[in-house]
Amino acid sequence: MQVSDLKHTNTHLASILGIDDPLDEIGIHLSSVQEPYPATPRNATVFASSGVDGVHYVLLHLPERRVEDAPVIEVSPMDADARHCVGDNLHEFLEIMCQRHEEFIHHTSPRSTPPGAEPHDALRVIAALRTHLNLAPRPDHEPRCKALTALHLPRMQLNPE
C-alpha cells in the first residue's frame, strides 16, 4: 500500500459513508505539504498529521525497503520521547490506528467527544476500513509498537538537539 492508495481509499469511503474526510475521524489528516519539526527524522517523509500539538506521521526511508513497505513513525514534537513506531508499514499503521480509536471510543463517554466528531462516524469508518482494506483488529498494538520502536529507532537519522 502507498500513500496514494490511502488517499484514494479515503475518497472512496467518503462517497460510500457520506463523510467528507473519513480518515480524519480516526485522527489521520492526510497532507501533501507538511513542514518537518526538528524532532522529525531526516530520513523520513511526512504524509499525515493528527491535527494536535504538531503530532505527525512519517514514512521512514530504509535502503532495503520499498517506500510502500516503510515503517510508519509517529512524531510528537512536544514530548521528550518524541518518536514511536506505529506500524511496520502503512497497512499495519491503519490496523493500529483503527484499534487505538476504537479503544478510545469505548473508554470515553459521549459527553467527552469533541463537537462534530460523533463516535458512530468513527466506528463506521473503522468498520469500512477493516472491510475494504482487510485490516485485522490489533489488541496487541502497545507491545507491538514498543518492539517496532526498539527495532527502528536506531535507524532514524535524528537532528542534533
Give residue-wise pLDDT tens across range 74-91: 999 888 888 999 999 999
Average pLDDT over residues 94-116: 78
The amino acid occupying position 66 is: R
The amino acid occupying position 138 is: R
**Residue 97 has which C-alpha cell?**
490506528
User: In angstroms, rounded to a whole number, what is the distance separating the alpha carbons of residues 117 and 115?
Assistant: 6
Provide the pLDDT confidence category of residue 59 given band limits of 50, 70 and 90.
very high
Higher pLDDT, 64 or 52: 64
The residues pairing with 72 across neighbouring beta strands, listed in sequence order, are 59
The pTM of the whole model exceeds 0.75: yes
Tell me the pLDDT of the chain averaged across its residues. Answer: 86
pLDDT of residue 112: 55
pLDDT of residue 119: 53
Provide the pLDDT confidence category of residue 35 given band limits of 50, 70 and 90.
confident
SS3 state of residue 49 = strand
